[in-house]
């Protein structure tokens, strides 16, 4: 029980603290509301329960770093339960309510509170030791960081960590004092009872004093911390769930069209970002998981998705009153990230997938690109000529559209012209598979497999255009729309049941982007079709293969669209031994070609594709094949195998070539892959 003066003091301090806190929160809310668009509160009620369940189970956090996530879970569960604990402790201070030495539900409450206090203390200590002892957070020196960030991260972490330790620790010791006061252990509070033995021999006055001090340290501290809370990373505990709950049910592979404000398409300044991109900054907990998986940062380039969010947050906090009041922010390229960083994003979406609080830093980068492209900022010359070629010829190779299906002339049969006769499958071949001489062999192989399996398929010949997936992601929205219009006009001429694509980027565009333009047709990747043909016996394995292989999931197939099983079903059906790289499936690592990178000069030290080849080589000396299912991967990894010096040791091969070797098609030379009989 508090004294009367203590009670009055607490109420007064609480009022002041709440007022200050409300002031801070309202400024942040007004700042976020300056972003474009408005949240759809309709989905709040639909999503609040399932998302809360996810959070209660700590699912978004356990995607990676299991041990650290465990520490977090300790703190998190304690925090949730401490909502109740703080209320009961308040009641104890004000009206003398106590659960000490009670049985039944009160004992259960005591036990949970007791154990979670220890979990929180252990978890927080562990997290602090990691952050300050092991110092796992480093940005490479090319990353743009606001001056306030460098010191700010540590200070914020120390304050928040210190608060949690002091708050929970005081409450825990306070319980021990109360146990000591009662003169006998409370078995529903085992750890507090253990600590109580330390107070053995203290007189009553000292114990009463200790009980008041610990009460104030536990609950008074909240009042002291509360006004700082909105500006601290601790605010993630409201903003992160909000971010996750209010996220529109949009496929990862579908971008929103650029926003338009003050004549700018996309985002040049903070207030031109969408509201949720500003919320991202406050949801960020600075865990840097996004940076760990970023292929650009991993190859020494200037991009750190974490630094982007942290910069945004620190800029906002330092200029909150002005920004919330309507002041214009400096350009994002001065306060959030650098131009080099913006142009090194591969749009692999690894950062988006890994983020435990639902942030999407990749979208900021794309919006900045949109603004740069539309403002006429000078582009990488290779990118510019690719875009000019796409606008003129519909492909990035600078080749006339009429040559698109030239590869098909070398086949012993004619592929149906889907514009002239109905087909079951319309094969949308894609630029790289059509024009790149290194890829055309694979393309012909796919055609021969489809043909041998009796698949009813056709192509659009010269009317096919680049689907525009990466055009949209370099920020050239107008060109993307033009390509969509041209493709839709061509598709309208054709009759088909479904689309099959070679390129995962094409797959993503047709599947996720085109529906916004009224195009809704089932879309398959060729690995899905080949797996099915093998399984229903339309293609028969004549000669099982015997080799150890690994498979690389393309970002736009594995991560964006979760097609990870079909290629693996094929590999196993052929008799091959599949060895997984550490990063596989949805957790795959980018080859470095996406988001238009394939058209740009990479400025990195080592390319992501080279790192990936080393990852594969580490799977064993006897691993022979690096299996791909994307024409861009074929290009990237064929180069990487040469530059890393593993040519001859590791062969990059398209999954279709493996199928052809096992199925044995007339007129198709099989690869020299060891077969079953030779191995035995």
Partner 1 sequence: MTIVVVMEQVPDVVEELAIAPSGTDLDRDAVSYVVNEYDDHALEEALLLAEATGDEVVAVGIDTTGELDQALYTALAKGARRAIKLTGDFEGTWLSTRAAARLLVPVIQELEPRLVLTGVQAPDDLDGQLAPTLAALLGWPHASVVIGSQLVDGAVQVRKELWGGMTMTLELELPAVLGVQAARQAPRYVPISRVRQVMREASIETRDVETPGDLAPAIMRLRFPEEAGQAEILTGSASEIADRIIELLRARGLL
Could you tell me the smallest distance in angstroms from the CB atom of residue 143 to partner 1? 27
- Per CB under 8 A, does 479 bind partner 1? yes
Contact 298, 611 (CB under 8 A): yes
- Site pattern 480..499 for partner 1 (x: CB under 8 A): -xx-----------------
Element (H, E) at 50: helix 42-56
- Per CB under 8 A, does 476 bind partner 1? yes
Q: Which is nearer to partner 1, 599 or 637 (CB)?
A: 599
Binding segment for partner 1 (CB under 8 A), chosen from 36-44, 62-70, 316-324, 473-481, is 473-481
Q: Which is nearer to partner 1, 6 or 380 (CB)?
A: 380
Please name every residue paired with 459 in a beta bridge, in sequence order, or none if there are none: 417
Q: Which is nearer to partner 1, 257 or 620 (CB)?
A: 257
Scanning residues 595 to 654, which ones bind partner 1 (CB under 8 A)? none
Q: Which is nearer to partner 1, 388 or 417 (CB)?
A: 388
Could you tell me the smallest distance in angstroms from the CB atom of residue 477 to partner 1? 6
- Per CB under 8 A, does 265 bind partner 1? yes
Binding residues for partner 1, rule CB under 8 A, total 23
Could you tell me the smallest distance in angstroms from the CB atom of residue 258 to partner 1? 9
Query: Rounded to the nearest 5 degrees, what angle is found at the Cα of 593, between the Cα atoms of 588 and 597?
Result: 135
Q: Which is nearer to partner 1, 260 or 328 (CB)?
A: 260
Could you tell me the smallest distance in angstroms from the CB atom of residue 479 to partner 1? 4
Task: Name which of 649, 633, 612 is nearest 502 in CA terms.
Answer: 633
Scanning residues 505 to 534, which ones bind partner 1 (CB under 8 A)? none
Tell me which of 431, 464, 470, 477 binds partner 1, using CB under 8 A. 477
Could you tell me the smallest distance in angstroms from the CB atom of residue 661 to partner 1? 36
Could you tell me the smallest distance in angstroms from the CB atom of residue 644 to partner 1? 33
Could you tell me the smallest distance in angstroms from the CB atom of residue 604 to partner 1? 24
Task: Name which of 526, 373, 383 is nearest 443 in CA terms.
Answer: 526
- Per CB under 8 A, does 268 bind partner 1? no
Contact 642, 573 (CB under 8 A): no
- Per CB under 8 A, does 462 bind partner 1? no
Contact 552, 522 (CB under 8 A): no
Q: Which is nearer to partner 1, 172 or 480 (CB)?
A: 480
Q: Which is nearer to partner 1, 103 or 400 (CB)?
A: 400
- Per CB under 8 A, does 257 bind partner 1? no
| Alpha-carbon separation of residue 583 from 308, 344, 579 (angstroms) | 24, 21, 11
Q: End-to-end distance of the chain based on CA atoms, in angstroms?
A: 83
- Per CB under 8 A, does 378 bind partner 1? yes
Q: Which is nearer to partner 1, 369 or 416 (CB)?
A: 369
d(CA 348, CA 504): 12
d(CA 215, CA 570): 64
Binding segment for partner 1 (CB under 8 A), chosen from 241-249, 357-365, 479-487, 665-673, is 479-487
Could you tell me the smallest distance in angstroms from the CB atom of residue 484 to partner 1? 12
Q: Which is nearer to partner 1, 345 or 379 (CB)?
A: 379
Could you tell me the smallest distance in angstroms from the CB atom of residue 338 to partner 1? 20
Could you tell me the smallest distance in angstroms from the CB atom of residue 48 to partner 1? 38
- Per CB under 8 A, does 342 bind partner 1? no
Could you tell me the smallest distance in angstroms from the CB atom of residue 379 to partner 1? 5
d(CA 578, CA 548): 6
d(CA 481, CA 5): 70
Q: Which is nearer to partner 1, 259 or 311 (CB)?
A: 259
Q: Which is nearer to partner 1, 180 or 372 (CB)?
A: 372
List, in order, residues 6 or more apart from 153 with CB less than 8 Å away: 137, 286, 310
Scanning residues 139 to 158, which ones bind partner 1 (CB under 8 A)? none
- DSSP state string for 427-449: EE--HHHHH-HHHHHHHHHHHHH
Could you tell me the smallest distance in angstroms from the CB atom of residue 343 to partner 1? 14
Strand order in the sheet with 577-578: 577-578, 548-551, 623-628, 651-654
Distance of CA 119 to the CA centre of its chain: 29
Please name every residue paired with 482 in a beta bridge, in sequence order, or none if there are none: none
Phi–psi pair at 52, nearest 5 degrees: -60, -40
Scanning residues 380 to 439, which ones bind partner 1 (CB under 8 A)? 381, 384, 387-388, 391-393, 398-400, 402
d(CA 168, CA 124): 10
| Alpha-carbon separation of residue 627 from 136, 545, 578, 657, 665 (angstroms) | 34, 14, 10, 10, 20
Q: Which is nearer to partner 1, 481 or 671 (CB)?
A: 481
Q: Calculate Rg over the CA atoms of the chain.
A: 30
Task: Name which of 524, 553, 550 is nearest 633 in CA terms.
Answer: 553
- DSSP state string for 345-414: -----HHHHH-TT---HHHHHHHHHHHHHHHTPPPPHHHHHHHHHHHHHSSTT---GGGTTGGGGGSSSP
Could you tell me the smallest distance in angstroms from the CB atom of residue 28 to partner 1? 34
Binding segment for partner 1 (CB under 8 A), chosen from 326-334, 377-385, 572-580, 655-663, is 377-385
Could you tell me the smallest distance in angstroms from the CB atom of residue 603 to partner 1? 19
- Per CB under 8 A, does 376 bind partner 1? yes
Report the SS3 class of residue 653.
strand
- DSSP state string for 490-546: HHHH---SEEEES-HHHHHIIIIIGGGGT----EEEHHHHHHHHHHTTSS--SS-B-
Q: Which residues bind partner 1 (CB under 8 A)?
A: 265, 373-374, 376, 378-379, 381, 384, 387-388, 391-393, 398-400, 402, 476-479, 481-482
């Amino acid at each position: 029980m508090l004294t009367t003066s203590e009670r009055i003091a607490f109420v007064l301090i609480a009022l002041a603290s709440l007022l200050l806190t409300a002031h801070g929160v309202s400024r942040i809310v007004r700042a976020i509301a300056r972003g474009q668009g408005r949240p759809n509160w309709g989905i709040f009620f639909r999503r609040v329960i399932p998302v809360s369940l996810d959070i209660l189970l700590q699912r978004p956090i356990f995607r990676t770093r299991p041990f650290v996530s465990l520490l977090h879970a300790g703190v998190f569960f304690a925090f949730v339960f401490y909502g109740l604990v703080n209320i009961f402790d308040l009641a104890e201070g004000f009206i003398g309510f106590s659960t000490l030495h009670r049985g039944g539900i009160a004992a259960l409450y005591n036990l949970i509170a007791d154990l979670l206090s220890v979990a929180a203390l252990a978890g927080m200590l562990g997290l602090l030791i990691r952050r300050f002892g092991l110092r796992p957070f480093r940005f490479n020196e090319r990353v743009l960081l606001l001056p306030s960030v460098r010191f700010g991260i540590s200070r914020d972490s120390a304050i928040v960590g210190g608060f949690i330790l002091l708050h929970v620790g005081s409450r825990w010791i306070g319980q021990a004092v109360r146990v000591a006061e009662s003169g006998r252990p409370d078995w529903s509070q085992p750890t507090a009872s253990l600590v109580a033995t330390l107070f053995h021999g203290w007189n009553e006055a000292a114990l009463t004093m200790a009980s008041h001090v610990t009460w104030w340290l536990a609950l008074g501290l909240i009042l002291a911390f509360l006004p700082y809370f909105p500006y601290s990373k601790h605010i993630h505990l409201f903003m992160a769930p909000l971010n996750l709950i209010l996220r529109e049910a949009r496929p990862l592979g579908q971008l929103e069209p650029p926003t338009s404000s003050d004549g700018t398409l996309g985002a040049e300044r903070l207030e031109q970002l969408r509201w949720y991109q500003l919320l991202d900054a406050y949801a960020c907990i600075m865990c840097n998981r996004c940076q760990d998986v970023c292929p650009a940062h991993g190859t020494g380039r200037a991009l750190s998705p974490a630094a982007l969010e942290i910069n945004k947050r620190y800029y906002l906090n330092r200029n909150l009153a002005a920004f919330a009041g309507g002041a214009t922010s400096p350009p994002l390229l001065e306060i959030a990230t650098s131009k080099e960083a913006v142009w090194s994003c591969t749009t692999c979406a690894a950062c988006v997938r890994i983020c435990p609080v639902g942030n999407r830093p990749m979208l900021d980068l794309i919006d900045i690109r949109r603004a740069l492209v539309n403002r006429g900022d000078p582009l990488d010359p290779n990118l510019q000529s690719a875009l000019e070629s796409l606008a003129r010829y519909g492909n990035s190779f600078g080749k006339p559209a009429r040559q698109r299906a030239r590869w098909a002339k070398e086949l012993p049969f004619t592929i149906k012209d889907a514009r002239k006769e109905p087909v079951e499958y319309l094969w949308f071949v894609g630029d790289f598979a059509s024009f790149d001489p290194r890829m055309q062999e694979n393309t012909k192989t796919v055609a021969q497999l489809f043909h041998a399996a009796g698949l009813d398929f056709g192509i659009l010949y010269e009317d096919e255009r680049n689907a525009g997936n990466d055009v949209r992601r370099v920020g050239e929205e107008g060109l993307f729309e033009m390509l969509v219009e041209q493709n839709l006009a061509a598709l309208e001429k054709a009759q088909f049941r479904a689309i099959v694509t070679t390129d995962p980027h094409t797959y993503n565009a047709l599947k996720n982007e085109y529906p916004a333009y009224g195009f809704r047709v089932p879309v398959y990747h060729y690995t899905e079709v080949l797996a099915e043909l093998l399984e229903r016996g339309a293609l028969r394995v004549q000669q099982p293969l015997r080799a150890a292989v690994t498979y690389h999931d393309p970002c736009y197939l594995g991560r964006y669209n979760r097609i990870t099983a079909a290629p693996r079903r094929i590999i196993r059906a052929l008799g091959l031994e599949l060895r997984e790289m550490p990063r596989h499936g949805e957790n795959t690592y980018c080859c470095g070609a996406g988001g238009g990178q394939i058209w740009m000069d990479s400025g990195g030290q080592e390319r992501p594709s080279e790192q990936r080849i080393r990852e594969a080589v580490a799977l064993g000396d006897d691993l022979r094949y690096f299996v791909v299912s994307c024409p861009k991967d074929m290009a990237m990894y064929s180069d990487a195998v040469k530059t890393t010096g593993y040519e001859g040791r590791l062969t990059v091969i398209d999954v279709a070539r493996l199928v052809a070797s096992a199925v044995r098609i007339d007129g198709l030379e099989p690869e020299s892959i060891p077969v079953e009989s030779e191995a035995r």
